[in-house]
């Protein structure tokens, strides 16, 4: 009887209707496979980011020109701790919609001209809370120091442009080219400096906006999502199997009877 039942299932499977369902199940499995790898790749990207942080974040600073050049920034050099001496020549420009410890605010950009010459560099000097008077009113921030200053910070790649027109003195994202244009720079390095600290020639530290928090090191749920997608690959085939099984039982309930429902002891007592 088992062989006969299995044969009926296989014959039913090769009908146009169920072949179509099987094809959809296969396509669903392929999609789940690739979605699983997509999530796994995102997980690996965050693992690599954390490895860069472990290598660079607390390391001894190196000269800015050693890492960030007009030709570009090597992805492996992101978060390298650097130092540079120069003068702030323009600013501030505000990056909107930035949060710090759950509070909405703005990041404050200034333009630093290195003492050794070369293109200017955009410096993110920190964070300030939004004005209580509305989005178009910019908050007051400590000015950048005049004269020579030695800065220490981390080299970062710029963000993608959001393609939005912003009021004067504001940018929608930390896109280096847009920030440089808003600061009036003729040319800027293709990366920016996230400020850690500043030292004046007399050894004092000037006032500055609130420093940003330490970088996010969480790996997120991407690895779990990847495993979930891979485990879901078989769902379509299981549904096809149960669909054929149910169809055969509905056509011949006497030959393929349902398993009788067990009667609970207390149901017998209540009867």
Q: What is the DSSP string of 171-230?
A: ESS--HHHHHHHTT-S-EEEEEEEEEEEE-TTSPPPP-SBPPPPPP---TTHHHHHHHHH
Dump pLDDT digits (tens) for 70-107: 988 988 899 999 999 999 999 899 999 898 888 889 99
CA 105, CA 96: separation in Å to the nearest integer?
7
Residue 168 lies in a domain: yes
Structure token digits, residue 92: 């501030």
Helix (H, G, I), strand (E, B) or coil at 19: helix
Dump pLDDT digits (tens) for 139-164: 889 899 999 999 999 999 999 998 88
Same domain, 75 and 134: yes
Same domain, 110 and 151: yes
Count the domains in the chain.
2
Same domain, 65 and 189: yes
Same domain, 128 and 236: no
Same domain, 256 and 228: yes
Same domain, 26 and 75: no
Helix (H, G, I), strand (E, B) or coil at 136: coil
How high is the mean pLDDT of the chain? 87
Q: Is 39 exposed, middle or buried (0-12, 13-18, 19+ CB in 10 A)?
A: buried
Boundary of a domain, candidates 199, 214, 235: 199
Same domain, 16 and 101: no
Q: For residue 25, how far is the Cα from the chain centroid?
A: 31
Dump pLDDT digits (tens) for 222-251: 999 999 999 999 999 999 888 888 887 777
Instruction: Judge whether residue 121 has pLDDT over 50.
Output: yes
Helix (H, G, I), strand (E, B) or coil at 12: helix
Residue 141: give its domain's CATH number: 2.40.50
Tell me the residue range of the domain where 77 lies: 59-199
Residue 76 has what DSSP assignment?
A: G
Same domain, 187 and 254: no
Same domain, 142 and 195: yes
- 178-193 burial, b at 16+ Cβ within 10 Å, e below that, comes to bbbebbebeebbbbbb
Residue 206 lies in a domain: no
């Amino acid at each position: 009887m088992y062989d006969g039942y299995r044969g009926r299932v296989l014959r039913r499977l090769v009908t146009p209707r169920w072949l179509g369902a099987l094809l959809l199940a296969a396509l669903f499995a392929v999609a789940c496979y690739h979605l699983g790898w997509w999530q796994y790749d995102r997980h690996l990207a965050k693992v690599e980011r954390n490895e860069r942080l472990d290598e660079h974040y607390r390391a001894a600073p190196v000269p800015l020109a050693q890492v960030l050049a007009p030709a570009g920034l090597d992805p492996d050099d992101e978060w390298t701790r650097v130092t540079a001496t120069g003068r702030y020549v323009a600013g501030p420009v505000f990056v909107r919609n930035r949060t710090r410890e759950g509070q909405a605010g703005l990041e404050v950009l200034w333009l630093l001209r290195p003492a050794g010459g070369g293109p200017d560099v955009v410096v993110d000097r920190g964070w300030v809370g939004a004005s209580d008077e509305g989005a178009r009113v910019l908050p007051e921030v400590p000015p950048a120091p005049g004269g020579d200053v030695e800065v220490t910070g981390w080299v970062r790649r710029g963000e993608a442009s959001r393609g939005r027109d912003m009021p004067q003195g504001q940018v929608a994202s930390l896109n280096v080219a847009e920030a440089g244009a808003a600061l009036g720079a003729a040319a800027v390095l293709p990366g920016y400096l996230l400020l850690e600290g500043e030292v004046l020639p007399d050894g004092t530290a000037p006032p500055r906006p609130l420093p940003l928090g330490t970088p996010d090191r969480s790996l997120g749920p991407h690895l779990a999502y990847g495993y979930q997608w891979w485990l879901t690959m078989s769902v379509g085939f299981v549904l096809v199997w149960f669909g054929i099984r149910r169809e055969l039982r509905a056509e011949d309930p006497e030959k393929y009877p349902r398993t009788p429902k067990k009667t609970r002891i207390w149901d017998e007592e209540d009867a």
